[in-house]
Amino acid sequence: NGTSWTETTDLNTGREGLAGAGTNTAALGFGGTTGSITAATEEFNTGIAGGSWATGGDLNTARYNLGSAGTQTAALAFGGAPGTKNETENYNGTNWTEVNNLNNGRAALAGAGTNTAALAFGGGPPNSALTETWNGTNWTEVNDLNTARRFLSGFGANNTAALAFGGYISTDQVLTESWNGTNWTEVNDLNSAR
């Protein structure tokens, strides 16, 4: 509500390392691990009693610690583990379709933007500063983050404006970098490392 957190309906399948896309009223949760790696996709829609999760189409490649961008009906899933995946899939609100792969496979990366204008950055192992932009068809490697790290977070409206923050190098990080469509610039750090 802009002020506090409100408990809503829980995911149907609890898991870690999953990715998400969308808004607080129409969201996706996909991939992850419950001890075994899953391709499951769940769709959240608000409605009666604060909303509910329903089963969506499964990813083609089960994985966890993947990057994501987009909305509930137009999402992008990329990278992930186990290993360092380079697969990219596009969700149309019903099914996932394999599209052109990342140039550099990695896990624990962050993403921002839409399914036609996305940014993939960071990841590992080892810690990576790699940044790639997505134009709806292909990934292009562009200027790297200033500081290589994995398990970072990020957001942005498209592939020309994003924020990367937190992450892990050999300890948790407070680093924050801003993307202007060409370069990353370090800005004010998070208040606490995580």
Predicted local confidence at residue 141, as pLDDT: 98
Q: Residue holding tokens 């990057």? A: 67
Are 11 and 53 in contact by the 8 Å Cβ rule? The answer is yes
Identify the band that residue 2 occupies on the pLDDT scale cut at 50, 70 and 90: low
Q: What percentage of the chain has pLDDT greater than the value 70? A: 94
Question: Please, what is the Cα angle at 71 between 70 and 72, to 5 degrees?
Answer: 135
**Cβ neighbourhood burial of 56 (10 Å; 0-12, 13-18, 19+):** buried
Average pLDDT, the chain: 93
pLDDT of 17-60, one tens digit each?
A: 999 999 988 999 999 999 999 999 999 987 655 688 899 999 99
Integer Cα distance of 101 and 63 in angstroms: 15
Lowest mean pLDDT among 6-15, 119-128, 165-174: 6-15
Identify the band that residue 113 occupies on the pLDDT scale cut at 50, 70 and 90: very high
In terms of phi and psi (left: phi > 0; alpha: psi -120 to 50; beta: otherwise), the region of 93 is left
> What is the Cβ-side half-sphere exposure of residue 105, based on CA atoms within 13 angstroms?
10
Between the two ends of the chain, the Cα-to-Cα distance in Å is: 24
pLDDT of 130-148, one tens digit each?
A: 999 999 999 999 999 999 9
Predicted local confidence at residue 13, as pLDDT: 87
Give buried/exposed letters for 114-150 (b at 16+ CB in 10 A, else e). Answer: bbbbbbbbbbbeebbbbbbbbeeeebeebebbebbbb
Identify the band that residue 165 occupies on the pLDDT scale cut at 50, 70 and 90: very high
Predicted local confidence at residue 48, as pLDDT: 52
Predicted local confidence at residue 183, as pLDDT: 98
Handedness of CA 136, 140, 146, 147 (dihedral sign): positive
Residue 1 has pLDDT above 90, yes or no: no
